[in-house]
Amino acid sequence: MNKFLYIIVVIFLVFSSCNKSEPRKPVLRKSGSFIEESIKRNKNLNKFENKLLQLKMQKDSLNNYINSEFGFWYFYNKKDSLHNYLPVKGDEIIFSFEIKKLNDSIIYSREELGDKRYLVDKEELITGLQEGVKLMHQGDVITFLFPSYKAFGYTGDKKIKSNEILIYTVELKQILKNKN
C-alpha cells in the first residue's frame, strides 16, 4: 500500500509540473513614461536656461550678442579683419580659452588650460565649442554663452556642476589648413 501511494504522488507531481506556466503581468504598465518624463524635464530646463541667458544679455549693454543657428549666443571681443578663412573639417587649429560661470566667476583660466590643438570635426570637444570655433577667423576673440546641453550637460566635471550654463572666451590663434 505504501508503494502504491508513493507511485500516485510521483504521477501527480509529474503531470502537475507539465502545466504551462503563465507569466505574471506587471502591476503597473508605463510604456515609455521614463522617456516622456525626461523630454518634459529637458524642455523645462532649456526654457529656464534660456531665460537666464536672456537676462544676462539684457544686463550687458556693452556687447552685441549674436544668436547662432546652433543654439548658443556669442559676441566679438576682437574681430580680425585681415583673415577671412574659416576652419573646416580636417584643419588643425590652435586656440586658448577660459571658462566662466554665468555670474562671471572663473572656473578655468587661460593659464590653467594653456593652448589647445584641435583637428576640426575629427576630435572630441564640447558640442558648443566644436560649432563655435568654425565661426571664427584667425585672430578673433569671441565670448560664447553655452546652455548646459551645449557644454557639459548632465555630466559636469570636477569644477563644473551638472546642467551648468557656461561662458567661454576663445582666442583662435592659428589655423593650419588641411593639405588633403
First to last CA, the chain: 94
Instruction: Tell me, yes or no, whether 14 lies in a domain.
Output: no
In a domain? residue 128: yes
Is residue 10 in some structural domain?
no
Give domain status of residue 2, yes or no: no
Three cell numbers, residue 30: 508605463
The domain that contains 135 carries what CATH number? 3.10.50.40
**In a domain? residue 12:** no
Which residue range is the domain that position 76 belongs to?
37-176
In a domain, 25, yes or no: no
Instruction: Encode pLDDT of 79-109 as tens digits.
Output: 988 889 999 999 999 999 999 999 999 999 9
Q: What is the pLDDT of residues 117-141, one digit of tens each?
A: 999 999 999 999 999 999 999 999 9
The reported pTM is: 0.80
**Domain total for the chain?**
1
* 96 inside domain: yes
The answer as to whether 30 is a domain residue is: no
User: What is the per-residue pLDDT for 127?
Assistant: 95
